[in-house]
Structure 1
Amino acid sequence: MQDLLILIVVAALWGASFLFIRVAVHDLGPVALIEARVGLAGLALLAVVAMLRRRPAWRDRRRYLILGALSAAAPFTLIAVAELHITASLASILNATTPLFSLLLSVAWLGEPLTPRRLLGVLLGVLGVGVLVGLGPVRVDPALVAAVAASLLAALLYAAGGIYAKLHFVDTAPMTVATGQQLAAAVLLLIPTLLLPPPRVPDLPVAAAVLALALACTALGFALFYRLVARLGPTGALSVTFLVPVFGSAWGALFLDEEVTPGTGLGLLIVLGGVALVTGAAARRKP
């Protein structure tokens, strides 16, 4: 019961991240917003690590910079850019394609087999994205297509970051990895933020959204997620993928009055069906 509660809380926090990005991105701009997100989250996680009296081993800074780019700096920024043109709901659903990209990269990078069931999952995911774009509540135009492409590229980078972490950080404490990842992302985005400063001074609601995004969705979300990984294993923790777009759509509808059309619901079901085929196969291989 405790694990289920943690799973729901993580999904709710990560689903809310798309809401807070949508609230703040027009005032701060994508780059400055994400710099604030990863910088504050990294410092918060560093404080937790210090309170736990752990001595993080960050000798290989180059690998942390690569991980920070793949898993935080680049995908976070791409999602923020996308949410200049698409709803938080659509962005959260598109992000649910991450396990599908993870499968494709695992086949190409790690030589894992592409079974008919997993191939069907990927094809369903592609169909779901097509339904979301074609039947969603937003008019199809070049800006929408570019935003969807940015969201899918972010999902691809998340998948690449997960595989990179699996290859290079398997013996490193999860909290250390999460802290180094966020701080490395902050370092990578520092100069771009100076070149692309916020277009205006944020008001109180925007500042509150940034704090919630950094401290709750990112720092607390990662801390709880890695606790879930320790208790359930990576495959069990991956089930959070099914809930994040549900919460993302719900938060967008509740707080931003975003329209959830039948096409949105149908696309969500098709994408999650594809993810279920892919992750279900992984669960059977790794009991």
Structure 2
Amino acid sequence: MSTANLFRLILLASIWGGSFLFMRIAAPVLGPAVLIEYRVVFAALFLAAIALLMKKPLDWKRHWKHYVILGFFNSALPFLLFAWSARTLSASVLAVLNATAPMWGALIGAVWQRQMVSARVLLGIVLGTAGVALLVGFDHVSSREGAGLAIAAALFASFNYGIASTYARAAPAVEPFANAHGSMWTAALLVLPSLLFFPAPGEPTAGIMAAAVALGVLCSGVAYLLYYGLIRDVGATSALTVTFISPLFGILWGALFLQEVVGWYTVAGAAIVIAGTALVTGYRPNFGARAKPA
């Protein structure tokens, strides 16, 4: 992997790790529904501008059902669940719980295909479960009121990412950028009804709105462009490295900007979850290999 691509990979990991920081800042004031509606609308508008510049129209008539399914399981529902959990949990805990998504994907894929998981995948799932248990068992946020439900909601959010990845493998072949663009618009429509049940509990300040804009434009719009660009240039396997790096940035940003406590259990739990994720995905880094032409 070239220096430029390595920089893009680290930048992407830092952006996705930062999404939990922005949710932790804005969710208590805007509430989960308002925050996520802002997120997906800002992301959709940003991607629409890029699509206009790149002359990439969406084939709504042909793929609208695909965009609805992807928008629900890969954006609307998990975003809402993470934002709801962010009112209680720390950014570092959210970032580590998010890293369990590949494990859920492996389990869902095995059930869907009616196949037994391999010993390696099973070991990865056991490690991931142990890492989560260590993290939430020792972290002081677990003692907060409603923490149990918040942890369950965050894990269910990751479970939905697993559903989305399983669906995507059998879904119609659609250009990755179109998937991101179309799913953001359908997510914006799907999140709308939740505004009736979760109005904003407070008045947003300029800083809160800046966090909401950053969550949409930076953590969804720009992040998608970086991610799919990496897949094109270095291949999906190397791009997958972001899964292992982003929790580290989630922990770092929480400690730097929110003064979250990083204990031995945070580092150990994150390391075990990342190791489990690597086993489940069968990841083997090969940065020296040249990417195949797109």
Matched positions, count:
284
Partner in structure 2 of residue 225 of structure 1 = 227
- Cα distance change of structure 1 residues 280 and 56 upon mapping to structure 2, 3 Å threshold: same
Partner in structure 1 of residue 212 of structure 2 = 210
Pairwise CA distance, 1:197: 2.6
Tell me, in whole angstroms, the C-alpha distance in 2 between the residues paired with 1:23 and 1:281. 33
Partner in structure 1 of residue 72 of structure 2 = 69
Pairwise CA distance, 1:282: 7.9
- Cα distance change of structure 1 residues 83 and 42 upon mapping to structure 2, 3 Å threshold: same
Partner in structure 1 of residue 137 of structure 2 = 134
Task: Output the TM-score relative to the length of structure 2.
Answer: 0.92
Partner in structure 2 of residue 105 of structure 1 = 108
Letter in 2 for 1:78: L
Can you give the 5+ residue segments of structure 2 that lack an aligned partner in the other structure? 287-291
1:5 aligns with 2:14: no
Can you give the 5+ residue segments of structure 1 that lack an aligned partner in the other structure? none
Report sequence identity in percent: 39
- Greater alpha carbon shift after TM alignment, 239-248 vs 52-61: 52-61
Contact 1:235–1:279 (Cα < 8 Å) also in 2: no
Tell me, in whole angstroms, the C-alpha distance in 1 between the residues paired with 2:165 and 2:282. 18
- Cα distance change of structure 1 residues 5 and 111 upon mapping to structure 2, 3 Å threshold: farther
- SS at structure 2 position matched to 1:223: helix
Alpha-carbon displacement from aligned partner over 1:37-65 (angstroms, at most 9, x marks no partner)? 00110111011011101222122322211
Contact 1:134–1:140 (Cα < 8 Å) also in 2: no
Tell me, in whole angstroms, the C-alpha distance in 2 between the residues paired with 1:16 and 1:113. 36
1:258 aligns with 2:256: no
Contact 2:88–2:141 (Cα < 8 Å) also in 1: no
Tell me, in whole angstroms, the C-alpha distance in 2 between the residues paired with 1:125 and 1:195. 34
Contact 1:35–1:190 (Cα < 8 Å) also in 2: yes
Partner in structure 1 of residue 199 of structure 2 = 197
Letter in 2 for 1:212: A
Contact 1:137–1:261 (Cα < 8 Å) also in 2: no
Letter in 2 for 1:79: F
Alpha-carbon displacement from aligned partner over 1:115-172 (angstroms, at most 9, x marks no partner)? 1111100000011111011111324366111111111100010111122122214x21
- Greater alpha carbon shift after TM alignment, 69-78 vs 234-243: 234-243
Alpha-carbon displacement from aligned partner over 1:70-119 (angstroms, at most 9, x marks no partner)? 00000001001111111011000110001111111111113455111111
Which of 74, 88, 93 in structure 2 is aligned with 1:90?
93
Pairwise CA distance, 1:183: 0.8
- Cα distance change of structure 1 residues 11 and 281 upon mapping to structure 2, 3 Å threshold: closer
Partner in structure 2 of residue 177 of structure 1 = 179
Contact 2:30–2:204 (Cα < 8 Å) also in 1: yes
Contact 1:133–1:140 (Cα < 8 Å) also in 2: no
Tell me, in whole angstroms, the C-alpha distance in 2 between the residues paired with 1:255 and 1:141. 21
- Greater alpha carbon shift after TM alignment, 231-240 vs 94-103: 231-240
Pairwise CA distance, 1:250: 0.1
Task: Output the TM-score relative to the length of structure 1.
Answer: 0.94
